[in-house]
């Protein structure tokens, strides 16, 4: 399978599939494909039906994935300006990808989800889900805005906005915390929730938060 990034302002990923080669993605991402490419739905029931319903009803994770099987070419993309990057996962490699960011993955890539808890404060973020992908195989992700790439050393720490996280290796830990805006009760009352990420491992950030409305 060959995956090529095409387009500029709103890019897409073109997958050239040999007979029997398959990719999967969320519903609504296919832009066009050859008539020879077949399509089917695949329920996301990893961890059991109860976990899948919780992810879908509370976390917004789709209950079904769509799969496309060659021979033929198919293009996939997400709405919004940004960058698409393709990465090759070796056997056993594990990466976590933010919601609204996965463009496609080869059928050989294992799919699951991981949950990042919020701080639990009233009116604050209750947490969010990330796609967990396990190699081997090809993966394409859409970074909203520009993609910033880092390799964190052991115990190297970044504080980031939760909408800025695009992709991280499973070895990179991530934890929610409340960032105060000054001292005293007012500073704590006006605090906002951010994320603290800690190495070692690869970290990709995006400069636009896909969950925030554009003005």
Is 198 domain-assigned?
yes
Residue 118 is predicted with a pLDDT of 80
Q: In what order do the strands lie in the sheet with 64-69?
A: 38-43, 64-69, 22-26, 102-106, 137-144, 82-89
Of 38, 10, 41, 14, nearest to 26 (Cα)?
A: 41
Q: Is 10 left (phi over 0), alpha (psi -120 to 50) or beta?
A: beta
Over residues 118-135, mean pLDDT: 76
More confident residue, 161 or 71: 71
More confident residue, 180 or 93: 93
Secondary structure (H, E, C), the chain: CEEEEECCCCCEEEEEECCCCEEEEECCCEEEECCCCEEEEEECCCCCHHHHHHHHHHHCCCCEEEEEECCEEEEEECCCCEEEEEEEECCCCEEEEECCCEEEEECCCEEEEEEEECCCCCCCCCEEEEEEEECCEEEEEEEECCEEEEEECCCCEEEECHHHEEEEECCCEEEEEEECCCCHHHHHHCCEEEEEEECCEEEEEECCCCCCCCC
pLDDT at 189 over 90: no
Is 212 domain-assigned?
no
Is 75 domain-assigned?
yes
Residue 86 is predicted with a pLDDT of 97
Under the banding of pLDDT at 50, 70 and 90, the label for residue 23 is very high
How many domains does the chain divide into? Answer: 1
120/168 Cα distance (integer angstroms): 23
Which two three-digit tokens encode residue 46? Answer: 């990893």
Is 184 domain-assigned?
yes
63/21 Cα distance (integer angstroms): 23
Q: Could you report the per-residue pLDDT of 97-120, keeping only the tens digit for each?
A: 998 899 999 999 998 888 888 877
Mean predicted lDDT score pLDDT of the chain: 86
Is 215 domain-assigned?
no
Strand partners, 105: 24, 139
Q: Could you report the per-residue pLDDT of 72-89, keeping only the tens digit for each?
A: 999 999 988 999 999 999
Under the banding of pLDDT at 50, 70 and 90, the label for residue 62 is low
Is 214 domain-assigned?
no
Under the banding of pLDDT at 50, 70 and 90, the label for residue 14 is very high
- The whole domain housing 115 covers 2-206
Over residues 124-134, mean pLDDT: 80
Instruction: Tell how strand 157-160 and strand 192-198 pair up.
Output: antiparallel
Query: In this structure, what CATH number is given to the domain that contains residue 67?
Result: 3.60.160.10
């Amino acid at each position: 399978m060959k995956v090529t990034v095409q387009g500029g302002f709103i890019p897409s990923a073109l997958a050239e599939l040999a007979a029997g080669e398959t990719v999967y993605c969320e519903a609504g991402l296919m832009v066009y494909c050859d008539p020879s490419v077949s399509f089917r739905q695949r329920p996301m029931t990893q961890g059991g039906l109860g976990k899948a319903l919780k992810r879908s009803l509370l976390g917004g994770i789709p209950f079904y994935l769509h799969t496309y099987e060659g021979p033929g070419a198919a293009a996939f993309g997400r709405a919004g300006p940004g960058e698409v990057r393709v990465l090759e996962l070796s056997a056993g490699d594990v990466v976590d990808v933010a919601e609204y960011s996965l463009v496609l993955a080869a059928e050989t890539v294992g799919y699951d989800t991981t949950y990042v808890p919020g701080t639990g404060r009233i009116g604050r973020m209750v947490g969010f889900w990330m796609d967990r992908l396990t190699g081997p195989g090809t993966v394409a992700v859409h970074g909203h805005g520009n993609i910033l790439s880092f390799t964190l050393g052991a115990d190297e720490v970044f504080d980031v906005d939760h909408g800025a996280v695009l992709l991280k290796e499973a070895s990179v830990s991530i934890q929610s915390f409340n960032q105060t805006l000054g001292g005293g009760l007012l500073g704590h009352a006006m605090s906002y929730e951010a994320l603290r990420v800690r190495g070692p491992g690869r970290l990709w950030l995006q400069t636009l938060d896909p969950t925030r409305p554009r003005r």
